[in-house]
Structure 1
Amino acid sequence: MLAGRLNVYAGSFALEEIAEPHAGPGQVRIAVKAAGVCLSDVHLIQGIIKPFLLRGDTVTLGHETAGVIDEIGDGVTGLSVGQRVLLQAGEERDGTVFTRGVDYDGGWAEHAVATADTVVPLPDSLPFEQACFIPDAVSTPWAAITATAAVAPARPVGVWGVGGLGAHAVQLLRTVGAAPIIAIDPLPAARERALDFGADLALDPADPIFGTRIADATRGRGLAYAFDFAGVAPVREQAAKSLAREGQLILAGLTDQPLTITDGTHFSYLKQQIRGHYGSSPEHVVELLDLVAAGRVEFSRSVSATLPLAEAAEAVRRLDAKEGNPIRLVLVP
């Protein structure tokens, strides 16, 4: 079968013909119908992110995967051949979380294998192209909003970076009743998109009166919650300066750069907090599917383009270059 393979140590990515996998005991195999292309995939290819738990030197990329079960291993119950499903973005083994498409083979392939407890049935009304990226692109901001920050309604929120994660954060913050929602991005098209997705205000971080505009929007109080979905060091400093008393800075975007708080005494005096965030838990994906089924959220606008699996390298190039300002590019085998 065709698969998008990354040699982690050589730093080389290529579409290769490899042997089809088969479902072992406790596993299912799916015929992949759609797989999301995430910025973390780009960073893996560039060597910015390194797998910690990968056995060997090569992995099939893709942690956002949906398809149809076509093979069931021994001991699996409650699932059936022909069932529409998505795969959780990782699995726990002996207390350690392994990430699909990073620590073991993912969904940039014609077939993917998953342990049965990481398989989530899909409603028939949800297209594969929209379902595949719910684990991560939607569940990561959802978990950051509801679990890490525990955002309360009618509280002011800032979202730095309105890309694949931040655009969904704006949409989901509106669902939980945050107000006002202020989106911050240097790209005019991203700011316009944020307003379309439900932001009350969209700002350029380079605006010379940025601080004044935050103060005006929050009636002088500052932000109760500031989310960094960009993973850029200067963003974090600007976000920290925008916080209200006891405000929280949530670090959801990943970077290996140091975090700087210019005035630590002021930060402590106001009892502000910095909280790290990574990924989501299985229940967050299930919650989002329930919201989709109830008609509370929908993600058709998030599919910026679909490309054949054979054009995975082109999808990576487009995302890295922000060509067309994509939310999610989706590969279709």
Structure 2
Amino acid sequence: MTTTMLAGRLNLRTRAFAVERVPVPDPGPGQVRIKVMAAGICLSDVHLIEGSLNPLFNPSEKVTLGHEVSGVIDAIGPGVPPVWKTGQRVLLQAGERCGVCPGCVRGAACLQVRTRGVDYDGGWAEYALATHYTLVPIPDDLPFEQAAIIPDAVSTPWAAIVATGQARPAYPAGVWGVGGLGAHAVQLLRAIGAAPIIAIDPLEPARTRALEFGADLALDAMAPDVRERIKAITGGRMLDVAFDMAGVAPVREQALRCLGPGGRLVLVGLTPAPLTIGDSIGFSYRQQKLLGHYGSEPEHVEQLVNLARGHRLDFARSISGLVPLADAADGVERLRQKHGNPIRLILKP
């Protein structure tokens, strides 16, 4: 086996990104080494490179990007349970517990989750290390490209829908931004029976995609009658829950105006910009809620794999193109510029 490999590395000080040749890592105690078969390019990766998103817990100067990863177990370190074997097809959870916070010490939810490809080296590489408890087995008939995007691209909107936002069957839901997260949000809202589903995006190709993925109505965010159209299709009820998948401040203010009594706005897209609640008295009187959301729990990824295993969900339409790992910078630029209106571009080592 070769001793070096290609890896897409970001200098966290200068924000210079390059595909470099680095040593192939050896798995330590509790770790396995994955031969990467597919890795998604996420808008969060673009934000990291641009500098608008910063690691919270990474003391290193450089990090290998990539938190959406699937592959095959290539080598097993000491202390890994025997349930894991070389050759197994797996995807990797997008992060892991810190192991030292009060939540981890008590066996509860981690309060300082480390994100793969942000706080430690990820999967934009020919090989990647993973702690064994972040592995999720995948069925033989689930393509690696589709499996790779389940952590984050699919699991983040799924967790926002079923956990944070608690969307309900037969209740109206709105999705602002029909990119990588928003397209899946529409598909998943359809799967749980939300109705009607309204998608809002300024780009016509994104609105067309929303209708193809199951939206009942797709509106231009720049149109002056967005609120009136939502009021009409919901019979005056307005939205039970709204999801900001874009991370744009004006989007959030527009979504707030479209909530009904008890309505919830879930902030999924990331932005450092402040949020203004224009009618704060009305917001309180109608007992509406503003909810932050980040990522997903391991159980959400496992749920989605089970749904894919049972052929209840199909992510084939989400794969917008394949990019050689060596050309990762070109893939990032394609996503940044929205060339071809991609949902997910996939790096192939």
Question: What TM-score comes out, normalization by structure 1 length?
Answer: 0.99
Determine which of 42, 48, 70 is the counterpart of 1:44.
48
Q: Structure 2 CA distance, aligned partners of 1:36 and 1:211?
A: 35
Secondary structure of 1:33's match?
A: strand
Q: Structure 2 CA distance, aligned partners of 1:43 and 1:330?
A: 17
2:188 is matched with which residue? 172
Q: Does 2:73 align with 1:69?
A: yes
Displacement after TM superposition at 1:212 (Å):
1.2
Q: Structure 1 CA distance, aligned partners of 2:180 and 2:206?
A: 10
Q: Does 2:101 align with 1:85?
A: no
5+ residue gaps, structure 1: none
Determine which of 154, 158, 161 is the counterpart of 1:145.
161
Q: Does 2:331 align with 1:326?
A: no
Secondary structure of 1:132's match?
A: helix
Displacement after TM superposition at 1:206 (Å):
1.2
Determine which of 268, 271, 275 is the counterpart of 2:287.
271
2:259 is matched with which residue? 243
Displacement after TM superposition at 1:294 (Å):
1.1
Q: Structure 2 CA distance, aligned partners of 1:118 and 1:208?
A: 46
Secondary structure of 2:23's match?
A: coil
Secondary structure of 2:7's match?
A: strand
2:300 is matched with which residue? 284
2:109 is matched with which residue? none
Q: Within 5 A, what are the aligned runs for 1:186-201?
A: 186-201=202-217
Which letter does structure 1 place at the counterpart of 2:97? E
Q: Structure 2 CA distance, aligned partners of 1:289 and 1:123?
A: 8
Q: Does 2:38 align with 1:34?
A: yes
Q: Structure 1 CA distance, aligned partners of 2:225 and 2:274?
A: 26
Q: Structure 2 CA distance, aligned partners of 1:130 and 1:295?
A: 13
Determine which of 311, 324, 331 is the counterpart of 1:308.
324
Which letter does structure 2 place at the counterpart of 1:147? A
How many pairs align? 333
Determine which of 6, 12, 24 is the counterpart of 1:2.
6
Determine which of 218, 221, 228 is the counterpart of 1:205.
221
Q: Percent identity?
A: 63
Displacement after TM superposition at 1:207 (Å):
1.3
Q: Structure 1 CA distance, aligned partners of 2:215 and 2:78?
A: 48
Deviations 1:204-259 (A, max 9, x none): 01112212101101101110001000000000000000000110000011111001
Determine which of 10, 13, 18 is the counterpart of 2:17.
13
1:119 is matched with which residue? 135
Q: Does 2:249 align with 1:233?
A: yes
Runs of 4+ in 1 over 6 A off after TM superposition: none
Displacement after TM superposition at 1:55 (Å):
2.1
2:275 is matched with which residue? 259
Displacement after TM superposition at 1:304 (Å):
0.1
Q: Structure 1 CA distance, aligned partners of 2:240 and 2:201?
A: 19
Q: Structure 2 CA distance, aligned partners of 1:239 and 1:211?
A: 9
Q: Structure 2 CA distance, aligned partners of 1:198 and 1:108?
A: 32
Determine which of 206, 210, 234 is the counterpart of 1:218.
234
Q: Structure 1 CA distance, aligned partners of 2:75 and 2:194?
A: 44
Q: Does 2:144 align with 1:128?
A: yes
